[in-house]
């Protein structure tokens, strides 16, 4: 099947997903599970922007499908696990839309209503990572995930009864728990890469605060944009490496620069606050005291 791409394809429901993929009627109105090898192969005439109102988890194996996020591309040429939150936008390259093998599970948020997972799923940062930050698994990890998908498939194919939702939710929770574990492993095994990321953050912050005047404070989103990665992945990487949030690193650099200005210039406290990017001097004074246990005026006086 060949699909003519429009500017953006938006999928609102499980039923609509099945229609777009030329599948039959879904077995459940709020959740769908399929093996890629059983789906009809689709070809795109041009790159496709895709967004859904669903949570989606994909395990892609032996795939030459490519996805783009921002200015970066990820080539799905090995077994990897990807997570997509509702209303995220992905760009799929022309030609093949689906990989030859693997799994696709789509979950409408309503399926988790009345379960703790409805809240907990929003705490998993990997649903907000970009495509190039997908989970690359070892063979053992991939086998563990395949087992969970097979158990999900077995339950999904059974007739719906009073326990169906409970059992499916339990399997999904287990899958997400393992994914969280494997992501933490990935941060550890890629520690060298994360160290380089920290160095780049340090350079960005040093350059930013060395400017004569900053119009506003740097944000996690702005720094992530400079590095072409997602804000959540950046924060999680640094937290795993240093035990501190990116916001903590920003504040450390800010206070370091404040110390320099307070000790080496005659600028007033208000002028220093504005130069560092604060809209109000009171906000600067509050942060400075919170981080140093003294006011900026006291710090300056103690230098003399």
Residue-wise pLDDT tens digits, 24-38: 889 999 999 999 888
- Which of 189, 212, 243 represents a domain boundary (last residue)? 189
Helices 231-242 & 164-189, crossing angle to 10 degrees?
60
174 and 32 inside one domain: yes
Please say whether the beta carbons of 200 and 227 come within 8 A. yes
Position 62 confidence tier, pLDDT thresholds 50, 70, 90: low
178 and 53 inside one domain: yes
149 and 209 inside one domain: no
184 and 218 inside one domain: no
41 and 73 inside one domain: yes
164 and 89 inside one domain: yes
Nearest by Cα to 13 from 133, 107, 145: 107
**Model confidence pLDDT, tens digit, residues 165-198:** 999 999 999 999 999 999 888 887 777 777 888 8
Q: Which range of residues forms the domain containing residue 197? A: 192-303
- State how many domains the chain has: 2
The domain that contains 282 carries what CATH number? Answer: 1.10.10.60
112 and 238 inside one domain: no
Out of 212-221, 239-248, 274-283, pick the least confident: 212-221
**CA-to-CA distance for 65 and 94, rounded, in angstroms?**
9
**CA-to-CA distance for 188 and 149, rounded, in angstroms?**
26
221 and 175 inside one domain: no
H or E segment to which residue 96 belongs? strand 95-96
Does residue 89 carry a pLDDT above 60? yes
Nearest by Cα to 224 from 249, 241, 246, 251: 246
**Model confidence pLDDT, tens digit, residues 64-79:** 544 443 334 444 345 6
Structure token pair of residue 257:
């620069």
Q: What is the pLDDT of residue 149?
A: 96
Please say whether the beta carbons of 65 and 99 come within 8 A. yes
The domain that contains 146 carries what CATH number? Answer: 2.60.120
Does residue 4 carry a pLDDT above 60? no
Please say whether the beta carbons of 74 and 131 come within 8 A. yes
286 and 144 inside one domain: no
- Which of 189, 222, 256 represents a domain boundary (last residue)? 189
123 and 238 inside one domain: no
Q: If you ran DSSP here, which 8-state letter would residue 210 be given?
A: T
Q: How far is CA 39 from CA 33, 57, 102, 158, in A?
A: 11, 16, 10, 20
């Amino acid at each position: 099947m060949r699909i003519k791409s429009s500017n953006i394809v938006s999928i609102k429901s499980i039923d609509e997903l099945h229609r777009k993929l030329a599948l039959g009627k879904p077995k459940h109105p709020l959740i769908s599970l399929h093996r890629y090898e059983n789906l009809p192969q689709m070809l795109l005439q041009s790159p496709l922007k895709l967004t859904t109102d669903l949570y989606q988890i994909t395990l892609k194996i032996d795939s030459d499908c490519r996805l783009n996020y921002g200015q970066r591309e990820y080539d799905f040429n090995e077994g990897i696990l990807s997570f997509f939150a509702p209303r995220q936008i992905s760009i799929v390259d022309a030609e093949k839309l689906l990989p030859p093998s693997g799994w696709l599970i789509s979950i409408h948020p309503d399926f988790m209503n009345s379960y703790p997972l409805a809240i907990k799923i929003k705490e998993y940062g990997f649903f907000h990572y970009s495509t190039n930050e997908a989970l690359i698994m070892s063979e053992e990890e991939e086998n563990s995930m395949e087992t969970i998908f097979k158990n999900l498939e077995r339950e999904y194919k059974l007739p719906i009864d009073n326990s169906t939702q409970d059992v499916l939710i339990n399997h999904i929770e287990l899958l997400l728990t393992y994914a969280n574990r494997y992501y933490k492993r990935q941060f550890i095994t890629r520690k060298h890469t994360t160290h380089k990321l920290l160095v780049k953050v340090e350079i960005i912050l040093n350059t930013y605060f060395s400017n004569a005047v900053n119009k506003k404070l740097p944000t996690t989103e702005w720094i992530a944009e400079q590095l072409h990665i997602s804000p959540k992945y950046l924060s999680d990487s640094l937290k795993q490496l240093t035990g501190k949030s990116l916001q903590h690193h920003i504040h450390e650099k800010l206070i370091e620069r404040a110390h320099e200005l307070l000790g080496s210039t005659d600028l007033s406290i208000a002028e220093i606050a504005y130069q560092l990017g604060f809209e109000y001097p009171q906000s600067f004074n509050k942060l400075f005291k919170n981080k140093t246990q003294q006011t900026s005026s006291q710090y300056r006086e103690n230098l003399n």
